[in-house]
Structure 1
């Protein structure tokens, strides 16, 4: 009894009408049906959110089938092999050290391992590099993940545009706030939001193995560099136009100013708009990183790496760097940092 009372009190506190709803509106007011009986039209309800949980399991199952029977054959046809990085040769002593620190040891510990195993220091460092890399996903796995996300985002975009294009409030945002929150929830709008929410819930099942990547990565994994560069430039233009143009001057304008004028602020209004403004700050930061990457691409002739993404270096690249170069960081004459070193008998200089 005490536990049930505590749960009821917690629910009453969390779903407080004075916080979530405009003045003089209650949850009971939204429990009716605005359309004719049996029409299926109803007002949005908090309980609709729970519909996304079972659907998320279904989307996750669809993803597994998609990656196995659609994405993987596409990757193989493009010449992407299911080959991972170099595997480290079995060594119980080094494996024990790796599980405790997961990185290459240094200083006296490295010298001690060198003497204990009678291995060169460089060989031990290479072993740790290979051991870290063998836990990373293969290019085939990364391609399949990216293709799944690209397919879903593209599909849900066209699905949303199909019915949003005919919605009156899509063109006149002030209609979003007329008679708010007594606005009928159509089946198309319901499925749009539930599918989106279920998709992101499905990512909870794989969040510890997935690595976020962009659609342009597909071209990168297939080694279509020109197509990859074109996709990145297109993405940059679309991102900046939508995030720095449409979002603040259309979305934030209606949530901040038009809603204030037509319904007035209430407690959750401040919460929602605070989150939307925080998102706009992130948009500005991400846009700066995209522009910086695009500028570097124009200077170098290709997109080297998206500054917003995680570094995805292969073991082969690291081997070349460690075996063929031995550099030191020193200031150049113009004030920028340069790495100076030797490759064979020739000298090289690379700007950071």
Structure 2
């Protein structure tokens, strides 16, 4: 009885649906119209496992050989010898100060150069290899480009693709085609796969921002699916997918040392990002849901949830635009594409040309990972 009551409360028409719309309006009946059902949301959970398996196979069988062909190293970093005094100091601070180095010299009878070299080796142990970065970027490029092409092919002849007001006209009698069905299922499964693979991938400075982005995207897609707001959902997906593969391509070019190509691709990424995330998304999506939807569809609590999630994505877009701006500013200053989110592997050599890790800090500005969805 309690479970039945909880079920009824959770699927309350008052919350999920606009005025004058009931769940019966979204039931599939004979008549040529097919509507999304909540039970379909279990499909992406299974697909997420398949997507993750495909990813690992792609990275191992396709991306890695390509990386090796272009000379990317696939070896493991040197392991720093265990020295208790240095290990204890490293746990406190990974970049030792001059005072710390002098104290360690007395404790270990090591020279300053040897101590700095040990700290660099230790830091490199915790960093992913260049090959891992390349294979991750290759997989994301492959998926984003493929799903964008598929999405455009599916949506090209749909009336709402060019006119967002058609997302609401005739609601809720919006037929779900087979192409749109699988477009949604694959996209949701990809974000589910990111939810758990993110903890195994290269760690980035905006880890939690990305995690929040994935959560907001999954919730947005799930809500839009249950209420049959799939039309506007497909536009959100297509706009997001249009930009990401450009950045992944730029990173791939960076890793194989095609710097000029990397700069060009990053410039294209910046232009496409601005057009899609700061122009099309707010003017075609957010504006449509805020001002076109309720006069046609009506009000409902879920309406405010949808818009809150859409607006939260826009705030994340603005945050990442700021980060991209910093990258571009650094590029103008250094004449090289840089990345403020992650660090590159530090060179470990017998000759030390820096002091107190200042040179090491400058290495954190190389592009190895991305600002992504």
- Bin the TM-score by the shorter chain: 0.7 to 0.9
Is residue 2:179 matched to residue 1:188?
A: yes
Do the aligned partners of residues 143 and 227 (structure 1) sit closer, same or farther apart at CA in structure 2, a change above 3 Å counting?
same
Do the aligned residues in 2 keep the contact of 1:33 with 1:43 (CA within 8 Å)?
A: no
1:317-328 map, 5 Å: 323-326=352-355
Do the aligned residues in 1 keep the contact of 2:80 with 2:121 (CA within 8 Å)?
A: yes
Q: Give the equivalent residue in structure 1 for 2:339.
A: 306
Aligned residue pairs: how many?
316
Do the aligned residues in 2 keep the contact of 1:85 with 1:315 (CA within 8 Å)?
A: no
Report the TM-score, using the length of structure 2 for normalisation: 0.75
Do the aligned partners of residues 110 and 323 (structure 1) sit closer, same or farther apart at CA in structure 2, a change above 3 Å counting?
closer
Is residue 2:4 matched to residue 1:16?
A: no
Do the aligned residues in 2 keep the contact of 1:84 with 1:139 (CA within 8 Å)?
A: no
Do the aligned residues in 2 keep the contact of 1:34 with 1:43 (CA within 8 Å)?
A: no
Is residue 2:114 matched to residue 1:120?
A: no
| TM-superposition CA deviations, 1:311-339 (whole Å, max 9, x none) | 2222218x79x93234899xxxxxxxxx9
Q: Give the equivalent residue in structure 2 for 1:51.
A: 43
| Higher RCO (CA-CA < 8 Å; seq separation 6+) | 2
The structural deviation recorded for 1:274 is: 1.8
The structural deviation recorded for 1:306 is: 3.3
SS, match of residue 248 in structure 2: coil
Between the aligned partners of 2:98 and 2:335, the Cα distance in structure 1 is 40
Structure 1: runs of 5+ lacking an equivalent: 330-338, 340-352
Do the aligned partners of residues 93 and 8 (structure 1) sit closer, same or farther apart at CA in structure 2, a change above 3 Å counting?
farther
Is residue 2:163 matched to residue 1:172?
A: yes
The structural deviation recorded for 1:144 is: 0.5
More strand by share: 1
Q: Give the equivalent residue in structure 2 for 1:235.
A: 269
1:62-211 map, 5 Å: 62-91=54-83, 94-95=86-87, 98=90, 101=92, 103=94, 113-120=104-111, 123-211=114-202
Between the aligned partners of 2:353 and 2:165, the Cα distance in structure 1 is 63
Between the aligned partners of 2:268 and 2:313, the Cα distance in structure 1 is 22
Q: Decide which of 18, 23, 32 is 1:27's aligned counterpart.
A: 23
The structural deviation recorded for 1:30 is: 1.6
1:280-295 map, 5 Å: 280-295=314-329
Do the aligned partners of residues 102 and 60 (structure 1) sit closer, same or farther apart at CA in structure 2, a change above 3 Å counting?
farther
| TM-superposition CA deviations, 1:225-283 (whole Å, max 9, x none) | 00010010000000001112111111122111110221222111111112212222332
Report the TM-score, using the length of structure 1 for normalisation: 0.79
Between the aligned partners of 1:22 and 1:296, the Cα distance in structure 2 is 48
Between the aligned partners of 1:51 and 1:8, the Cα distance in structure 2 is 24
The structural deviation recorded for 1:59 is: 1.0
Between the aligned partners of 2:287 and 2:194, the Cα distance in structure 1 is 31
Do the aligned residues in 1 keep the contact of 2:72 with 2:130 (CA within 8 Å)?
A: yes
State the superposition RMSD in angstroms.
3.0
More helix by share: 2
Is residue 2:282 matched to residue 1:244?
A: no
Between the aligned partners of 1:81 and 1:21, the Cα distance in structure 2 is 55
